[in-house]
Amino acid sequence: MKNKLKQFRELLGLTQGQLGGLVGVSRQAINSIETEKFEPSIWLAHDIAKVFHSTIEDIFLFEESERKSRAEQSRGVI
């Protein structure tokens, strides 16, 4: 999932470790989200958005993907 997390984090002058501490995850988890290797849960995305006094949609960009969503996979959508 594409995101603007790094830009938001740098605007507040936070390191990955500091942001991770604020939302209860490791620096590595924040790095994985920023580099789009990991998609956060809705609860983690919510906590991140709260840190920046923003919305989830401002930080995380929900775009159509060629990869099937979990819901589509479970329904057998091709």
The string of pLDDT tens digits covering residues 57-73 is 999 998 755 555 566 66
Q: Where are the domains of the chain?
A: 2-75
Q: Pick the closest to residue 3 from 46, 33, 37 (CA basis).
A: 33
pLDDT band at residue 6 using 50, 70 and 90 as cut-offs? very high
The structure's pTM equals: 0.79
Hey, how many other C-beta atoms are within 10 angstroms of the C-beta on 78?
4
CATH architecture of residue range(s) 2-75: Orthogonal Bundle (1.10)
Is residue 75 over pLDDT 60?
A: yes
Q: What is the pLDDT of residue 56?
A: 97
Query: Taking residues 33-50, what's their average pLDDT?
Result: 97
Number of H helices, E strands in the chain: 6, 2
C-alpha span between 46 and 51 (Å, rounded): 9
Residue with the bigger pLDDT between 71 and 48: it is 48
